[in-house]
Amino acid sequence: MRSISNLSRNIRNVSSLLLIAILALGFVACASATLKPKIEVPSSQSLIQIQPIFHGSLVLTIGDKTIYVDPSWGGEKYKDLKKPDLIVITDIHPDHLDLKTLGEIATKDTPIIAPEAVAKEAKEYTHITRLKNGQSTSVNDISFTAVPMYNITKEHLDKHTKGRGNGYLIKFGGKTIYISGDTEDIKEMRSLKNIDIAFLCMNQPYTMTVEKAADAVKDFKPKVVYPYHYRGKDGLSDTEKFKALVKESSPSTTVELINWY
C-alpha cells in the first residue's frame, strides 16, 4: 500500500510540474521584452530601485549590488540590465528556478541565496548560500531572511510543501521588502511586522485567491503592496478587485498595480 501511495504522490507531483512548465511556456510566448517602469524606494543609505521583469521575476539595485530575484523567462529579458552580483531564488518550479536562464545571465561563480531544494537542482553553481525557513544571511549592509511559503488548502498541499521554498525579507537602510514567493495566506505571513513594500502572489490554483491575499494584508499591514505572480491556470487574477478590497479593509496600505505581463 505504501508503494502505491508513493507512486500516486509522485504522479501528482509530476503532473503539477508539467502543468507549471506548460504555463511557463505560454507566459514566454506572450511576454513583452519591454522593461516595466522602475520602483524607487528612498532609504537612509541610498536609493533602492526595483525593476519588475515578468510574473514573479524582479531585479533590485541596493547600494552597489544588483540582485536578481527568481530570474526566469530567458536571458533576453535581462539584456539591458547590469549582470547580477547576487541571485535570490524562492523555489524549484520553472517560473522561479530556470536553469536555462541562469546559464544565460550568470556564471557558475555568481553567489546565490536559495533553499536546499533549489541547491540540489542547481549543483553546478559553486557559491550557493542555503537558507532554511527562519535563517538569515547578509551581503554588505543588506540582510536576507528566509520566511515560510507553502500551501494550506487541502487539495493544494502538494503544490508547495512547507519548508521546501522560501519567501524573503530583504532589509537595507531602514527599509524592509517582503517577497512572498508561492504561498497561501499562512500564519507566518499574517504575523509579519513593519513591512515597507510587499510583493504578494495571487494565482489559482497555485497560491492565494485575491480575497485571501487581501485578508492577509489586513493582518500584516504593509505600507505598500504590489500584486505580482498573478497569472494562473485560468488567466489573470483580478488585481483591481484586490485593490478595492484592500482599500476597504486596510486603508493604511497603498496598493500599486503594475502590468507584469
The secondary structure of the chain in percent helix, strand, coil, rounded to multiples of 5, reads 30, 25, 45
| Per-residue confidence (pLDDT) for residue 8, from 0 to 100 | 42
Give the tens place of pLDDT for each residue, 32-59: 568 999 999 999 999 999 999 999 999 9
Provide the percentage of residues in the chain whose pLDDT is more than 70: 87
pLDDT at 11 over 80: no
pLDDT at 19 over 50: no
118 Cβ partners below 8 Å, 6+ apart? Answer: 89, 91, 92, 97, 112, 128
| Per-residue confidence (pLDDT) for residue 116, from 0 to 100 | 98
| Per-residue confidence (pLDDT) for residue 35, from 0 to 100 | 92
Where residue 23 falls among pLDDT bands split at 50, 70, 90? low
30 or 254, higher pLDDT: 254
Q: Quick one: which of 206, 75, 218, 187 has its CA closest to 198?
A: 218
CA atoms of 249 and 251, how far apart (whole Å): 6
Strand ranges of the sheet holding 224-228, from the earlier edge strand across to the other edge: 136-139, 142-149, 165-172, 175-179, 197-201, 224-228, 254-255
CA atoms of 41 and 20, how far apart (whole Å): 32
**CA 17 distance to own-chain centroid:** 17
Strand ranges of the sheet holding 48-54, from the earlier edge strand across to the other edge: 39-41, 48-54, 57-62, 65-69, 86-88, 112-114, 128-130
CA atoms of 58 and 68, how far apart (whole Å): 6
pLDDT at 108 over 80: yes
CA atoms of 244 and 6, how far apart (whole Å): 43
Mean pLDDT of 109-130: 97
Mean pLDDT of 56-76: 97
What torsion do the CA atoms of 153, 157, 159, 165 make, to the nearest 10 degrees? 100
CA atoms of 229 and 10, how far apart (whole Å): 25
CATH number of 2-255: 3.60.15.10
Indicate the range of 9-18, 46-55, 61-70 predicted with least confidence: 9-18
**Residue 141: φ, ψ to 5°:** -100, 15
Where residue 244 falls among pLDDT bands split at 50, 70, 90? very high
What mean pLDDT value characterizes the chain?
91
pLDDT at 64 over 60: yes
Provide the percentage of residues in the chain whose pLDDT is more than 90: 86
CA atoms of 74 and 45, how far apart (whole Å): 33
pLDDT at 88 over 80: yes
User: Which residue ranges make up each domain of the chain?
Assistant: 2-255
In contact, 231 and 201? CB cutoff 8 Å: no
